[in-house]
Every structure is written in C-alpha cells, then in structure tokens.
Structure 1
Amino acid sequence: MRIIAPLLLASSLLMAGPATADTSQVKLDHGISFTLPPGWVLEQVRDTRKGDKGRLVAEIACETEHCKDETLETCRIVLFPEHFGDNRDAENLEALYANPMDRYFRMRAVRIAMSKDAEFRRLLAPMAIGARDWYVAETDARHNMKSGLFADSVIGGWRVQVSCKTCETGEIRYRDAMAMLASFRQADD
C-alpha cells in the first residue's frame, strides 16, 4: 500500500496537467488555436477522423449567469481532415464557394439548422474578422428562439467551420462569437 499511494498521487497530478495552464486557449490540430471568450468553457472534443473522412469537433458553451438564464449561447467548431495542399488561405476560401451550387448547399444547411420562423440576417458572403477572412451567414430568430452565426475559413490550408447559436437579440448577439473568430490563429502566425 505504501508504494501504490504515491503512484496514484503522481498519476493524478500528470492527468491534471500544470496548474498554470491557460484554460482560455483551445488548441486544435495542426497548430490551430483560438481563445475562449470570458465565461466560456470547452464542453467536449470528438475526433472521428479516419484517413480523409470524419472530423475533429469542439463544442463550447457560455456559462455565465446571463448565458445560463437567458442567452443559452453555444458554438461548435469543426476542423475538416482534408488539407488543401498549400497555404494560400484566401484563394482556398474563395474556392470553397466559387461554385453557385456550393453556396446554395451551404445556405440550405444553414436554413435547416435555423430555428423555426428564423430569417436570414446576412446571406453567405465574405467578411474580414480579425486577421482572417471568413464566409459568414447570420440568422435572426424570433423572441426566445436561437439565432445562428455560421462561418467558414481556411487556416494554414485546413478548413475550419464554426456554428454559434444564441437567444441574445440586437447588435450584441454575436459579440463573443466574433471575438472568438477573431482569435483564430495557427502556430506559424
């Protein structure tokens, strides 16, 4: 028993990680990371990648009292397994939606993900957020329903897709989501 107790203590410390770790920084694969807005937490990460199929999915949620009681904000970040083969992010992002059918199917997916009776606030279009370009679509839902922010970008040749939903209204509805999108970077940046 004398030997087992120190081993259990040491293994629990290794699993806990260093006490000074920055919990607001979320690291995905390929050096891609983003910063959680204040009051947000990483709920789970799922990795279903097998070869060029599947995805790395991170789900985050706001846990402030305002969020828990009123806005119910959540975001889902998806890192796709296919690499574009180069680091021409702006050209690769444009190529994602160069075909009108690709734009149509993305808008259709946004429409399916929207709350009932929601309307488009912003149709899928390029938008500079922070140092990156994103293709963004926004929806506006009626009172007590969730509005959505849907964004795609290419970072270091990797496609990143973000979907955020909130019951917040007005111009501040995506303040935290926009701050998070602006914080995306790759280790080389």
Structure 2
Amino acid sequence: MKRMYLLLLPLLALLFLAACESGGNFRVINRTSYPVYVTLDDEAEFAIPAGTEHTFEVATANQHIFNPDVSVEVPVRLVGETFQIYDEGNEVFTDTTRVVIHAGKTTSVFVDPNRASFKVVNNSSQYIIQAKLFKHNFVGVVASNDTGPIAPGRFVYLPVEYATSSNNFYYYATVQMEDGATYNYGDETNILAVDQQFLITITDPE
C-alpha cells in the first residue's frame, strides 16, 4: 500500500502542475479603415492599424483544479478614428469600458466602424490654436466641435456623426494658427458616410 502511495504522488503532482494556468489574452481585431487606439489598465496607449489585430497579455492569479475559474476585470479605453463604444443603457458614446479576462482563455473584440471622423495633423512649425468643425444641414449650422490646441508634429481626431439618407448634412472647418492666420476647409460636397474621414494636414507655407 505504501508503495502505491509513492507511485500516486508523482502522478498527482503532474496532474496539479498540468492544470495550473495563469494569464489570459485580450484580442482586438480592427475592421475599420483607420487606426484603433487601446489603453489596457495603466499601460501605454497602443495603436492598432486598419485591418490588423493585436493580442494583449493580461496577468491573472493561477488557475488549478482547486481554483478552476480565475478571472480579472480590467479597465479598457478603446476608441478608433471611426469607432466608439456605444453604451446602449445610457444611449451615449463612450471611450471606456471594463472587460473580464479569464485565465487560460482569449477574449476577442471585433471593432467595426460606427462613426465618421474629423482629423487634423499639424506638420507645421507652429501651434494650431484650434480647429473648429461645423455640421451644416444645408439650412444652417446645427452643431460644432473643436480640437483645442495642437502642437507641431501632433494630431487630433474626433469621431463624429455620419450622414444618412434621412439625416443629410455636410462638414466644414476653420483652423486658427499661432501667427493669427485662419484657414477654411470643406463645403457642401463634404458629406461623410460611416468609416470616412475629413482629414486636414497643416504644413508651413513654401
């Protein structure tokens, strides 16, 4: 009997070790035409290019036969240039949520476009004081938004509403520079569909 116990102990140890798992994965698949930006917990923001995916490793406690269901809830900021999380309960768009990650498993998120986008890239040597976006319904301005200051070499994007056959409108924008110059962009032909972007790139005059 003692010999049987001695034989069983290594088998039980192997079974215990084989059943131990720690850590799970958070997989983000970007199916939009523009980058998606993800911040997991307190980590640095990670940009996922259009049409690609990325898997984040998330630490958890050890999972084993005596503790078989290990998970951790992680705060996530996930926003794309043409995507935002929609909170159906509150009927608002948001950039943040919480995701439950299970040890030994992969949680996948498929990011499909649900917004249009306004993006300003500052490739000039001076600050952009602000870029102001106007939504015009062919009768008058019905909404506006602005980027705030944009430093040289930086960019700002705003996910925005897209036009439909029952809600048609166009966008135009004004860009105010540090030296006082103001530039105008867009007109009544600038009608954005879902997953389309109104892009402005500012460079120094030649």
Alignment TM class, shorter chain as reference: under 0.3
Higher-strand-fraction structure: 2
- Structure number with greater CO (CA < 8 Å, separation at least 6) is 1
> TM-score scaled to structure 1, two decimals?
0.27
User: Whose helix proportion is higher, 1 or 2?
Assistant: 1
